[in-house]
Chain A
Amino acid sequence: MSQRLRHLLLGWALLLVLLAIEFGLSLTPLDRLARTLVLIPAVLMAGIVATIFMELGRGPEAPRLFAVAGLLWVAILLGLGSLDPMTRIVYHVQTPNPTSVSHDFPEPGSERPSRR
């Protein structure tokens, strides 16, 4: 019993240390892309909650299977969903003056163009 409580307290202390690390990382002068590094401690924290508080390693196999399946599907969701924004090249083109753009639609009230 006391060993289990010690285990939980250790997990909680680790969570607070990781929280302090990600807090500190967010205040360091990293570029915009590198700032996503603060997500690494967050992922580790989620792992600690799953293994120590939720005892994923203990008990039957099915919960581990469901946890892995959930992670797999969310990885597919985020991976495939991110592919488009991460790989698309945006070419900036000069748009023509909108007032000079002509169109083929008739003005309201005018006669319809005849079809030949």
Chain B
Amino acid sequence: MTEASLTHDFQYSNARHQAESAISGMWLFLASEVLFFGPLFLAWIYSRHWNQSGFDEGARQTDLMLGTVNTVILLTSSLAYSAGVAFIEAGNRRRLIQCCVIAWLLGAAFLVVKFGIEWRHDFSKGLFPGPEFAIVGPLRDGAQLFFVFYFLGTALHGLHMFVGLILVGWIIVRAREFSPGYYTPVSVVGLYWSFVDMVWIILYPLIYLVGRGP
């Protein structure tokens, strides 16, 4: 299929122009998302600076193993989706669907580990900030601040993951429409999916690693 034979909306000069505009628009949205998560990272810097001991005590209560497993799951999910984009570029629709299903399942596994297992453990250990908070003594306030950051950060990231799962599912359902000449929605959803992965790459050390140590 040549570029000239592809359809495009009236405001674009050709199909390629339309595809490039969609991809640029997604990047603009992702730039605004960076500023959405920015204050969360600033809150981490500010809170840890003033409450280092308590903040680090909170970080030591998190489950490093589950956090690391989840990171590997998410990196692999991003790889699977990017491979799907490469396959549809080469005209292999069946492989696109397989890769998207793998990416979707891994994304769902991440949410199950995070909210079904890890959060449940955290709640059962009394780590949700409030009057029943389990850590007592002089480090209590700093540890509570850490867990405010932890629950808010993981909830916001989880919400983005949930939206991502809906989008990847939508790509799987619509897969029949895509071809090497038209796969812009696949690329645009791939950008979002990898961005969510990127946010976790930054959240992971802030939650599990920086405060840990001998």
A contact set with B: CB distance below 8 Å: 1, 4-5, 8-9, 11-12, 15-16, 19, 22-23, 25-30, 32, 35-36, 38-39, 41-43, 45-46, 49-50, 52-54, 59-60, 62-63, 66-67, 69-71, 73-74, 77-78, 81-82, 85-86
- B111 adjacent to chain A (CB < 8 Å): no
Chain B residues within 8 Å of chain A by Cβ, number: 51
Cβ of B119 under 8 Å from chain A: no
- By beta carbon, the residue of chain A nearest B43 is A81
Residue in chain A with minimal CB distance to B45: A82
Q: Which of B123-131, B134-142, B143-151, B200-208 lines the interface with chain A? A: B200-208
A66 touches B210 (CB 8 A): no
From A4, A50, A73, A82, contact of B42 by CB (8 A): A82
When distances are taken between beta carbons in the complex, the residues of chain A under 8 Å from B202 are 39, 42-43, 46
Task: List chain B positions with a Cβ less than 8 A from chain A.
Answer: 20, 23-24, 27-28, 30-32, 34-35, 38-39, 41-42, 45-46, 49-50, 52, 56, 68, 71-72, 75-76, 78-79, 82-83, 86-87, 89-90, 190-191, 194-195, 197-198, 201-202, 204-206, 208-214
Contact pick for B209, options A26, A69, A73, A78, CB 8 Å: A26
The 9 closest A-B pairs by CB, nearest first: A70-B31, A26-B209, A62-B24, A63-B27, A70-B34, A66-B27, A85-B49, A1-B90, A81-B42
- The secondary-structure label for the interface of chain A is helix
In the complex, how many angstroms separate the beta carbon of B32 from the nearest chain A beta carbon?
8
Closest to A44 in B: B201
Residue of A nearest to B195 (CB): A54
Considering the chains assembled together, what is the distance between the CA atoms of A67 and B24 in angstroms?
10
CB <8 Å contact, B198 and A36: no
Query: Does the CB pair B204–A42 fall under 8 Å?
Result: yes
Please determine whether A5 and B49 come into contact, CB atoms closer than 8 angstroms: no
User: Closest CB-CB distance, A59 to chain B, in whole Å?
Assistant: 6
